[in-house]
A and B are shown apart, each in its own frame.
Chain A
Amino acid sequence: MQELLGRIHTLDPHASESIRIIACFDELMAGGVTMHGLVAAAAALSGSAAGAEYAGRVVRVARSGEALGADPAAGVRRGHEDDGVRVWIEGDEASARLNDDLLLERLSLAVRMRRDHADRTPPRRDLALLLDPAVPEPDRLEAASRLRLSSEETFRVVLAPLFATWKAHPRGPEDVVATASGPLHVALTRESDDHPAGTPAGIGIAAPLRDLSISFRTAMVAVRLHDGISVEASHADDLGGLAVTLADLAQQSGHEDRARIESVTAHSWGEATLDAITRTTTMREAARVLGIHPSTMAARVDSLTAALGFDPMTGLGRTRLGIGFLLWRVQSSTVLDAVTISAD
């Protein structure tokens, strides 16, 4: 796996190996993986044999994952000791890598969690606490002060899948946070000095510390609307008031217009046609965008009207279509799963 980390770096020099390593160990801990499995992961990631020792028990694993006997004479390139647990990566100094310390710190935590038979989930880290509205406000503000964030300022949440590529990395605190869409890369930016751009990435509306969860939810809407190709992030601000509306609607199931729109998207021409209608003001314009004859467009609109139960081209129907279609795009987005790389 160490070669994979290297490849990540080759494919995107701005990618953060740290975020991957944190996410990897979060999954190992959540999965209740054995001591051997934990040390094997560290060995694979470091490209070298690794070990853990506590209470006289030694677990030593080769980078291939095979168990090794204890070997007190093995050269150690990096070691870490905490709370009765010693962990290390073997090899000579020359093979030491920048992320050895992070690897060992995560391994040490995972080993201690396992040793202590504690609840599988280690205590949540500060950024996750700060973004969770279910956490009492005093605890959230304490997490913020540990992160050295001022309650005088406003911030935006930046959200991206682990594999996102970055034109401009966010500069504030960042971490991996478990979400319903899997582990995601989360960062905070201050309004003033930071213009992150990533593919795909979403930037939420600005909010003070006590209300950061709304920035998180609108960042989720924004990233799910990202086309997966643009090098710019998707900004919740571009949606104005709709950002919060969509964030709220997206949490519910059974939205009537969205369900009808989903049925329309089953047609090969459905999604593109709905998209064109929401971006233009007349049927003629929409037809031009789609590159089809106006009479074909008219026929499609007739089908749409029948399927939707309302006329999507006029009055309130237009609004219903716009919101329903955006909601469908948010809820059915695969941008957090699938990598799309712009041709180069």
Chain B
Amino acid sequence: MKNKNLVSITDFTREEYLRILDLAAEFEKSPRQDILHGYVISTLFFEPSTRTRLSFETAINALGGRVIGFSDKGATSASKGETLHDTIKMVSNYADLIVMRHPLEGSARLASEVSSVPIVNAGDGANQHPSQTLLDMYSIIKTQGKLENLNIFMVGDLKYGRTVHSLLQAMSKFNTTFYFISPDELKMPPVYKLHLDEMGLEYYEGRELTEHLNQADIIYMTRVQQERFTDPIEYERVKNAYILRREMLEGCKKSMKVLHPLPRVNEIHTDVDDSPHAYYFDQARNGVYVRMAIITSILGVK
């Protein structure tokens, strides 16, 4: 994996996913190691992000590496009209690895072709956010003890949600059965269902959140955003139909966990928070270990 870019979740193989997840478990056991001493890693955030940037920077600092970068493009030459191409060319002279987030889709792929050092994509618009997917997978393996043969429910905005698309692509390598629960306007796009057909995997589609929930090993919640609807009346009609409440979880498997990429607005009622099924805050903590694993694998120090 040394010097490999992580731009899209499909850049890595099944074996590489498993290697990252093993390594993340190792970092969870001993999160303070001085193995990045002497390394300079650049975090270029052309678009604001709290969780992702802080968890990457925590991961780097905890392993003894140094961080250069910015968290707002207003303070950079990009605001003077410098192209992404030129910014990346310049920064790749300074850093050993670049972590970047950019509002335009495909920006990280372009950066990987321009840069002399590896690129880790921390989100390119609505396209890819592979470290999020790997931390979702880490949360799944940690809570279920395995990745194979699970029933994963994806709920909410399945049309625009990049996290569910990437998770689907990655988990399709592990014989997952998917349940897609969404309003008609926000159904899983055909291209992803076609992918599952090609992989020979079963999936179900429905509109009712409460249906079949007792089958679930994982419920992956996403936010239904008003701006996605062309018809405001339709939004009003469905907005409360995709809120997960504690009483809905009564018949669920004991081992079932609720995941959410965060930030949450109201799609998981706060009464779920202290249920044993709630895992979304732990999920966010797992991000640090997974990002340690990604960075050290690519730099070849692990």
Decide if A and B are genuine partners.
no
